[in-house]
Every structure is written in C-alpha cells, then in structure tokens.
Chain A
C-alpha cells in the first residue's frame, strides 16, 4: 500500500527552480534511499513533504489524505517524522527532555489536556530507551549546547523515532559521523526498517545507503532521474554522469 505520494510537485524560489515536476511514491514498509548530487533538491522535497515549504504546484498525499494544505504539526501528528539535516535541538532542554517532548507529542493535540497533565516520568523513561538505542545514553542529561555535531545528529534521529511515525524522513543522518559511527547508524536504520518502519533516507554516504537500502531514488537538478533496485541504479551510467558530470570515473561521491 502507498504510504506517501508526492504528485507532480514544483517549487521555485524566486527565479530558481529547486524541484520541478517530481512525483514519488513510498510504500508501506519501504526503506528507500534518496540520493543525488548537491543542489538536486533533496532537502527541498523533504521540506515539502513535512510542510515546512508549500509547493507552487502539485500535491502531497499521506495515508490516503491530501495533506498539501496542512501545517507541519498536523502532519507530524498524523504520522510523519523528520530528522533534519541541520540539527535543531531545543537548547534549553536536556537530551532526555528533548526526546521526551517528542514521545508526548500525541498529548499536544489538546492544550487543555496538556494543562491538566503533569507527569513526565513515562515519557522520560521511553526517551532514555531511545537515547540508549542511538548511543547517547551516557549524555542523556546533558544540554545539547555542550555536545559535538555527531551527537546532535543522533539526537535528531532519536527525537524523530520518539514520535512513533508511520513514515520516518531522515535527512543526512550519517553526516558528521565517523566511519564506525556511520555504519552503526546505518545498521540501526536498517533494523528499524526490518521491524516494519517505513523510511525515506536522504544520504550522501552512498556506500552505506547502497549497503542497507534495497531500492534507490535518484534526483538531479530538481528532477527525478532514476528509480529502481539498488544494484541496477548503482550500475547505471546516468548515476555516474549525474555525480561526476560526464566522466566515467567511479567511486564514492561526496
């Protein structure tokens, strides 16, 4: 069943077209790798899906509903979650509270209910589990300001997971991590997908994407380029051309 459907979406910023006529479907239980060179419009498309940006043209359909006009928070409560490329921790809250807030997101639909409820213990306990899962258990009570980027990237992922999303959108979760950390994070993402979580993964670390994703979608210059099983996409000359501008040299693009 299709979980997310992006239908013929176009987004322009002034004279620059960031995304043009993109259609993309993500099925339930999918782990879809989303790659493309810098400036391909990957993050823009992610932001359109979450509702941070409203496209000039096209629709976004999530779980059978047209959510194009919905605000971000409503889409999140409907089952989307985003781990952002540029980390945005709440700096006045500890890591545990950052995640606990997301665990309790379902409470936020009714302000009145939030006023009458004070207990944070169950959400904080769940938050600790998630921080352990992404390897941040040791610094759970620290404030984000004191931590290196690699930690904050993992906080983004923990916070997105805390929302118990139907579809997890990950925007370069491996960036800023060293090779063993990146591998561990990729394994974690693969495990999430195996457990039935649907994931759309933007990533520049093509080695890890190719290792864990059975299927790839490639975008270039704001347009869809390729989609298919990972081995076929990786072997295609179009992919090399997109990354390397016509040269046939192989290897990992950054």
Chain B
C-alpha cells in the first residue's frame, strides 16, 4: 500500500506541475524552459516554513504566492520581448535559480535542505493534499479554457499580431498566464519537497524544466487530459524501470523530438485523429 501511495503522490505532483506549464505553453503559446525554477521557489518556500513549524496545508498558499510573484517579476522583464525570445530568457532564469540558491547559506547552499517534516497523517495525508490541489487546479484550468481569458490566450497563442488588432493587450494576458502557471508550479514544488523530504538546488535545474516541457508536448500542447495522462505516465516510468531513470535525458529528448516530428498534437492530437478515422 505504501508503494502505491508513493506512486500516486508522484503522479499527482507531476500532473499538477505539467498542467501549470500547460497554462503558459499550451493555452497561451509561450514556451518556457525555466519552469522548474518556480517549482523550486515553491519547494524552498514551503520547506522553510514547515521546518519553522507551519503546517504544509497553510504553507501552500505562500508557496503559490511567492512563486507567482517570481513569475510576475520574470514575466514583467521578459514577456514584452516578442515570440520565441521568452524561451531563451526563461532558460537563463533556470540557470540563475540554481546559481543563486547554491550560494545562499539560509537555503542550505550546495547541500540543500534535509529533514523536511512529514505532513499530518503521513504519506496518505500528503497524497490527499496533493489530490485536493490537483482537482482544484484541473477545475481552474478547465474553467480558464472555457472563459474569455482562455479565448484571449488562444488568440495570443495563434497569432500575437492579430490578437493585437482585435484589441487584446497581448503582454498583459501573457503575464496572467505566466503568473497562474508559476503559482501552480509553486504549489507542486511545495508538495514535492514534502514528498521527497529533501531538496537541493539541482532538483530544480534545466533538466527538470525540459522534462516537464516534454510531458506537456508529448501529452498534446493545450490539452488538459492529454497532458495529465502523459505527465502521470512519464513521471512513474523511472520508478518502474531502472533504465528509464539512467537514460532519462536521452529518452525524454527522444520523445520530445519524435512528438514534434511525427505527432505535433501529442497524445491528445493522436487520439483525436484516431477517433476521426474510426468514424
């Protein structure tokens, strides 16, 4: 039972993390290569707070707020740049995060933070908390897609210049997508820190950013269910197969390439195509 709980918690956190990037990359069309940095901001914020005696259920909020604030700051600085430059800027953010955290004694420096307290009710308690957060975030993203904000995001993802001609304040909507996405990543990071109960700067580096991007792209950019499926599956693969863990980068890189080359719509696109053919 303990193993299944660990597995499910891993999946729930990965799905939450991937869905948070899906708001930015899938809905709004902005490629971020530094999403793990905000996951890290949430993880460090929550770990510091729970070590000081705050319960995780309370610490989730500041984790979301501070990660979202970091997202706001990065967004303000970079979302006015056009089109694909954001990928480069966020890549820089990813390295910047690791570089800064390494030098901070308060944050445990190179060693990281160990001995993160267990949550109330132990592992089942954490799973329950992760599932609550996940359900909330799934509901939020489904709502966004139906709302006029989702409509605006869709137009920005499709063609920024045309969105402007239709009266849409493109940088402002991008910033909203970025803040919602990074705040979600903060919550996922807080849960992750209490799942592993040890965090170090290298848990939130460029490789993690690419991994989560691979989950979004393999699942099908913009599709909530496709991304959830891909993230759930890809997150437990390394636990099931040792070789997947050993060759993680190679495998995810290969998957990313294969998806872009052969099924740009990802799992969701493939399912849609098959359904259309069956009819």
Whether A61 sits at the interface, judged by CB under 8 Å, is no
Of A32-40, A71-79, A179-187, the stretch lying at the interface with chain B is A71-79
Q: Check if B154 sits within 8 Å of A114, measured CB to CB.
A: no
Do A73 and B168 touch (CB < 8 A)? yes
For B162, what are the chain A residues with a Cβ–Cβ distance below 8 Å?
A: 88-90
Contact B147 A117 (CB under 8 A): yes
Closest to B140 in A: A115
0/1 per residue, A18-53, Cβ < 8 Å to B? 000000000000000000000000000000001010
- Indicate whether A90 sits within 8 Å of B147 (C-beta atoms), given known contacts A71-B164, A72-B164, A72-B165: no
Instruction: Give A75-100 as 1s and 0s: 1 = Cβ < 8 Å from B's Cβ atoms.
Output: 01100001010001111110001000
Contact (Cβ within 8 A) B159 A118: no
Taking CB as reference atom, which chain A residue is nearest B168? A108
| A159 at the binding interface (Cβ < 8 Å) | yes
> For the complex, what is the distance from the CA of A120 to the CA of B147, rounded to whole Å?
8
Q: A200–B273 Cα gap in the complex (Å)?
A: 45
- Contact of A194 with B by CB under 8 A: no
Interface size, A (range): 35 or more
B165, A118: Cβ atoms under 8 Å?
A: no
| Among B143, B146, B162, B170: residue with most chain A CB under 10 A | B162
Report Cα–Cα, A84/B162, bound state, in Å.
10
User: What distance in Å separates the Cβ of A224 from its nearest Cβ neighbour in chain B?
Assistant: 26
Q: Are B151 and A120 in contact (CB under 8 A)?
A: yes
C-alpha gap A113/B176 in the complex (Å): 12
Count the B residues whose beta carbon is within 8 Å of the partner chain — how many? 26
User: Within B127-164, which residues are at the interface with A (CB < 8 Å)?
Assistant: 143-144, 146-149, 151-152, 154-155, 157-159, 161-164
A159:B166 contact, CB within 8 angstroms: yes
Expressed in whole angstroms, the Cα–Cα distance for A113 and B147 within the complex equals: 10
Q: Which residue of B lies closest to A99 (CB)?
A: B166
A92 to B157 alpha-carbon distance, docked (Å): 9
Q: Which of B208-246 contact A (CB under 8 A)?
A: none
Summarize B's interface: helix, strand, loop or mixed: helix
Contact of B167 among A97, A102, A118 (CB under 8 A): A102
Give the interface SS of chain A, mostly helix, strand, loop or mixed: helix
Contact A111–B155 (Cβ < 8 Å): no
Tell me if A91 and B164 are in contact (CB < 8 A): no
Q: What's the Cα separation between A90 and B156 when bound, in Å?
A: 9
B166 and A105 within 8 A (CB): yes
Q: Are the CB atoms of B164 and A163 closer together than 8 Å?
A: no
B148 contacts A104, C-beta separation under 8 Å: yes
Verify B170–A92 contact, CB threshold 8 A.
no
Q: Is there a chain A Cβ closer than 8 Å to B173's Cβ?
A: yes
Residues of B within 8 A of A109 (CB): 169
Q: Does A189 contact B (CB under 8 A)?
A: no
A47 to B26, alpha carbons, bound, how many Å? 30
Contact (A117, B159) CB under 8 Å given A105-B166, A105-B167: no
| Contacting residues, chain A, for B157 (C-beta < 8 A) | 92
Write the nearest CB–CB distance from A80 to chain B, whole angstroms: 9
> Complex formed: what's the CA distance from A52 to B163 in Å?
12
- Assuming A101-B155, A104-B148, is B164 touching A118 (CB within 8 A)? no
**Of all chain A residues, which has the CB nearest B157?**
A92
A207 at the interface (CB under 8 A from B): no
Are A90 and B173 CB-contacts (below 8 A) given A72-B164, A72-B165, A117-B147?
no
Contacts of B159 in A (CB 8 A): 88, 90-91
**Interface flags, B160-191, vs A, CB<8A=1, else 0:** 01111111111011001000000000000000
| Complex contacts, B158 vs chain A, CB 8 Å | 90-93
- State the CA gap A113–B170 with chains docked (Å): 15
Question: Inside 8 A of B148's CB, which chain A residues have their CB?
Answer: 104, 107-108, 113-115, 117-118, 120
By a CB distance below 8 angstroms, the chain A residues around B168 are: 73, 105, 108
| A116 within 8 A of partner (CB) | yes
Q: Across the interface, which residues of B come within 8 angstroms of A73, CB to CB?
A: 163-164, 166-170
Contact with B along A145-188 (1 / 0, CB 8 A): 00000000000000100010000000000000000000000000
What residues of A have a CB within 8 angstroms of the CB of B170 in the complex? 73
Residue in contact with A111 in the complex, picked from B146, B163, B167, B172, CB distance below 8 Å: B172
**CB of A126 to closest CB in B, whole Å:** 14
19 further A-B contacts with Cβ under 8 Å, apart from A84-B165, A92-B157, A159-B166, are: A71-B169, A73-B168, A76-B166, A88-B159, A88-B165, A90-B155, A90-B159, A101-B152, A104-B148, A104-B151, A105-B166, A108-B168, A111-B149, A111-B152, A114-B147, A114-B148, A115-B149, A117-B148, A120-B148
12 contacts between A and B (CB under 8 A): A50-B165, A52-B164, A82-B165, A84-B165, A90-B162, A102-B167, A107-B148, A109-B169, A115-B148, A115-B176, A117-B147, A163-B167
By a beta-carbon cutoff of 8 Å, the part of chain A in contact with chain B is 50, 52, 71-74, 76-77, 82, 84, 88-93, 97, 101-102, 104-109, 111, 113-118, 120, 159, 163
Please name the 4 residue pairs, one residue from A and one from B, whose CB atoms are nearest each other, closest first.
Answer: A105-B167, A114-B148, A76-B167, A114-B149
